[in-house]
Every structure is written in structure tokens, then in C-alpha cells.
């Protein structure tokens, strides 16, 4: 191969790589679509081992198109949110998650949507459940 052709090919490849490196941070910094998460327990009181249904909706501010999004029921334990169960929900859709408890206590719960490639993170209001 002629040296001038090889040099042009190498310069073209370097230009493409530089363009990709410049464009990557701009694409990563794109703002996420805001979501609002509403959730509550179907009952405020359950027995040990009884299923508790947590129902809610994931409302999207502007339709971005996407598949099912993760939603996580969390419990406040020693000042930190601990994941109890995970499910999926379509944007602008509803969800129902079932969980049960092995001990009697009062639990402080919320539902959390972690940040994804399309949507920002969100958390529902906190709600309490008494397990007898």
C-alpha cells in the first residue's frame, strides 16, 4: 500500500476516534426524564407470613419510550434503606408487588425507582406497616 494512502487511512481513523470521544460525554450528560412514584400498602396491618400487597404507579413527565422500569420496595433499618423485593413497571403504568415478613414489628417502607439510562431516580412517600 502506498504510504500516502496508509497515512490518510490512519488520519481518518484518528479523526473518527476523536469525534467519538468528544461526543461520548455529551451523550452521557443528556438530562434524564423526570418520574414520579406513588405507592402504598393495601393494608396497614398484616400477620407474620401473610402476603402484603404494595401497589403504585410510575408517572413519567415526558414520554421517552422505553421498556419496563425497575421498582424496589425498601425498608428503613438502622437509618439505611434496605431492598426487600424488586419488580418492574412500565412508564405511566401501575404495579403490584407482594412481600411477607417473618417477624412481628412495625416497618417503615417506601418504593424506589433507581436511575436508568432514560429516567431519573425517584422515591414514593414513606408508609408504615404493622406486622403482628
pLDDT of the residue at 3 = 72
Model confidence over 79-95: pLDDT tens digits?
A: 999 999 999 999 999 99
Q: Which residues, 6 or more positions from 30, have their beta carbon under 8 angstroms from its beta carbon?
A: none
Percent of the chain residues past pLDDT 70, beyond the cut = 77
| 16-20, 60-64, 74-78, 124-128: the lowest-pLDDT one | 16-20
CB atoms within 10 A of CB 84: 18
Would you kindly state where each structural domain of the chain is located, as residue ranges?
1-30, 35-131
Domain 35-131 has CATH 3.60.20.40: no
pLDDT of the residue at 25 = 53
Model confidence over 24-72: pLDDT tens digits?
A: 555 555 788 999 999 999 999 999 999 999 999 999 987 666 689 999 9
Q: Which residues, 6 or more positions from 25, have their beta carbon under 8 angstroms from its beta carbon?
A: none
Contact call for residues 10 and 61 (beta carbons, < 8 A): no
> 16, exposed or middle or buried, with CB in 10 Å at 0-12, 13-18, 19+?
exposed
What would the mean pLDDT of 7-17 be, rounded to a whole number? Answer: 62
- Ramachandran quadrant class, 97 (left: phi over 0; alpha: psi -120 to 50; beta: rest): beta
**More confidently predicted of 120 and 27:** 120
Amino acid at each position: 500500500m502506498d504510504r500516502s494512502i496508509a497515512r490518510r487511512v490512519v488520519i481518518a481513523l484518528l479523526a473518527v476516534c476523536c469525534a467519538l470521544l468528544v461526543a461520548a460525554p455529551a451523550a452521557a450528560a443528556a438530562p434524564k426524564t423526570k418520574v414520579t412514584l406513588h405507592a402504598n400498602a393495601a393494608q396497614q396491618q398484616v400477620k407474620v407470613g401473610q402476603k402484603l400487597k404494595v401497589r403504585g404507579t410510575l408517572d413519567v413527565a415526558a414520554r421517552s419510550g422505553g421498556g419496563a422500569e425497575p421498582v424496589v420496595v425498601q425498608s428503613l433499618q438502622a437509618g439505611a434503606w434496605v431492598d426487600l423485593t424488586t419488580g418492574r413497571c412500565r412508564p405511566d403504568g401501575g404495579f403490584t408487588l407482594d412481600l411477607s415478613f417473618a417477624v412481628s414489628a412495625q416497618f417503615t417502607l417506601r418504593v424506589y425507582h433507581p436511575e436508568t439510562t432514560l429516567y431519573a431516580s425517584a422515591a414514593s412517600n414513606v408508609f408504615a406497616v404493622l406486622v403482628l
